[in-house]
Structure 1
Amino acid sequence: MTHSNNLNTTLLLLLLLLITGLSVNALADNRPYREYGDLKIFFSAFNSSFIQPDVASSYNITRGKDKGLVNIAVVKNDRAGGVPALVKGRVSNIFGQQQVLEFAEIREGEVVYYLAPFRFDREDWMTFNIDVRPDPDKPTHSLTFQRKFYVDE
């Protein structure tokens, strides 16, 4: 093997290690938010049965054993309460069946966040693709995350 081939092999191995390391880090990122400059976009998704019936009723949320909610909040400069944003998204199951997420803005005093309902079947991995645009004059921020859901018996 020539010196050139050894160098190419070494560079290829380093590149593969770098890519593998980045993939592992991306998968290991379990933070409940993503950072984009001075913005943090917080996200969660959960079974709608976790919400108490009186709270669900006051926000017109339909609870159900096969219904979930995704929650998005945008915080700027770590300021409590959040900021308004345009939030759009889709959720899909492992079979690629998609649902458009219809986000409703919720305001409680200074707090602003966005909720969208979705359905799931039995034991289901759901993949969320969310676009958030806090400022109409700036680019949209996209985030993707997965959660596993179980029908609440």
Structure 2
Amino acid sequence: MTALQTLARAMIAISLLLAGSISTAADIPDATVLDPNYREQTFGDYTVHFSTFNSAFVPPGVAEIYGITRARNQILVNISLTKTEGGETSLGLPAKVTGTARNLLQQQRVLEFAEINEGNATYYLAALKHTNEEVYNFTISVAPDDAEQTEAQPMTVKFSRKLYLGETE
């Protein structure tokens, strides 16, 4: 094999690698997907609200009551479901919440949501450990508890967040 043939094969190999990189880059969320102001999605009368925050921000007394581990490398994914009828919006409703978080290396973690019931409002929290400036793509499915009676379909929201290490006291 001549040097020219070797060079040509190397260039083809590099081109194929770059083409693979370009298609992978499409999986990286753009700035609008990472928009921290994107916090809710409406499905007819229902709205799914979602947010993430560092577990170190939870006051120690509150963390103890709800069994939350405070750590600078752990966030809480917060999900709630509301319904608007006749111009009135409910507080968080009971629901079945499931979800996954996938980082840019495509490592997926199943989120385990705990129900938090505060009288008239119900919401769901799941813990997720992360490294600094790690991007996660979340897929969350929410079905109202009365879905069988109302024939409501599960609602799926997808969002991405860049996560940062929090400060501890």
TM-score by length of 2: 0.71
Please report the TM-score for the alignment, with normalisation by the length of structure 1.
Answer: 0.78
Give the match for residue 142 of structure 1.
Answer: 156
Q: Which has the higher contact order (CA 8 A, sep 6+)?
A: 2
Paired residues in the alignment total 131
Larger radius of gyration: 2
1:123-149 Cα shifts (integer Å, max 9, x gaps): 211111000111133211111011111
Question: Letter of the aligned partner of 2:135 in structure 1?
Answer: W
3-state SS, counterpart of residue 56 of structure 1 = helix
| 4+ aligned runs moved over 6 Å, structure 1 | 23-29
Query: Which runs of 5 or more structure 1 residues have no equivalent in the other structure?
Result: 1-22
Written as runs of structure 1 = structure 2, the 5 A alignment for 1:83-102 is 83-102=93-112
Cα displacement (A) at 1:80: 3.3
- 2:166 aligns with 152
Counterpart for residue 56 of structure 1:
63
Percent of pairs with identical residues = 40
User: What one-letter code is carried by the residue in structure 2 that aligns with 1:40?
Assistant: T
RMSD: 2.2
1:41 counterpart (45, 48, 56)? 48
- Which residue of 91, 103, 112 corresponds with 1:81? 91
Deviates more, 1:41-50 or 1:133-142: 133-142
Give the superposition deviation at 1:110: 0.1
